[in-house]
Amino acid sequence: MSAAPLKVLLVDDVALARQRLERLLRAYPDVVVAGSCAGADTALAAIVRDAPDLLLLDVDMPGCDGFGLLARLRGDARPDVVFTTAHSDFAARAFRVGALDYLLKPIAPGDLREALRRARARRESGPAGPAWLLLRERDRTTVL
C-alpha cells in the first residue's frame, strides 16, 4: 500500500512564482497541488477547507505577510511550512517559527526536492523534530 499523496498549498502574491512552483511540482507523482493562493486570507480559507500537508509560503505579501498567516493558524490546523521567498534576511525568523526549509527564489529544483523529502519524512515520523537546529549564515552559525 502506498502513502497518500503530499497535499501542497502554494501561497504567493506573484502569479508567475506560483506557476513556476506548479511546474516544478509536476515532476513528483506523489505530490498534489491542493490550491494556489495570492494572499493570506484566501490561503487561510483554503487551509481550513482542504487541510494541506505543506505550505509553500512567500514571506512578503501585501496585507498579511507569511508570518502573519502562520500566527493566525492554530496548532493542529497548521500544515508544515517551507518558505519560498526572494528575501534572505528572514531565514532565522522562519526557522524560529518552525519552518521545515527556506528556499530562495528562483527556486532550484534540487532545493525543492530536498524540502519535499523533509516534508515527507516529517509526515511519516510525526511532528517531533530535533532538539536543536544549526543555522549557517555567511560567516556565523546559530544554534536554534
The confidence score (pLDDT) of residue 74 equals 80
Is the pLDDT at 120 greater than 80? The verdict is yes
CA angle 120, 102, 14 (to 5 degrees): 105
Question: 54 and 82 in contact (C-beta within 8 Å)?
Answer: yes
Measured in whole angstroms, the distance separating CA 59 from the mean position of its chain's CA atoms is 10
Is the pLDDT at 132 greater than 90? The verdict is no
Given strand 6-11, what is the order of strands in its sheet?
31-37, 6-11, 54-57, 80-85, 101-104
Sign of the Cα pseudo-torsion (71, 95, 60, 48, in order): negative
d(CA 61, CA 114): 25
Q: What is the mean predicted confidence (pLDDT) over 52-80?
A: 93
The confidence score (pLDDT) of residue 131 equals 46
Say what the pTM is. Answer: 0.86
Question: 70 and 26 in contact (C-beta within 8 Å)?
Answer: no
Is the pLDDT at 41 greater than 80? The verdict is yes
d(CA 8, CA 16): 17
SS3 53: coil
Residue type, 106: P
The confidence score (pLDDT) of residue 119 equals 96
The confidence score (pLDDT) of residue 77 equals 76
d(CA 20, CA 58): 13
Q: What is the mean predicted confidence (pLDDT) over 71-81?
A: 88
> In the structure, what pLDDT confidence band is assigned to residue 58 with cuts at 50, 70 and 90?
very high
Is the pLDDT at 114 greater than 80? The verdict is yes
Is the pLDDT at 1 greater than 60? The verdict is no
The confidence score (pLDDT) of residue 124 equals 86
d(CA 17, CA 110): 17
Q: What is the mean predicted confidence (pLDDT) over 2-26?
A: 95
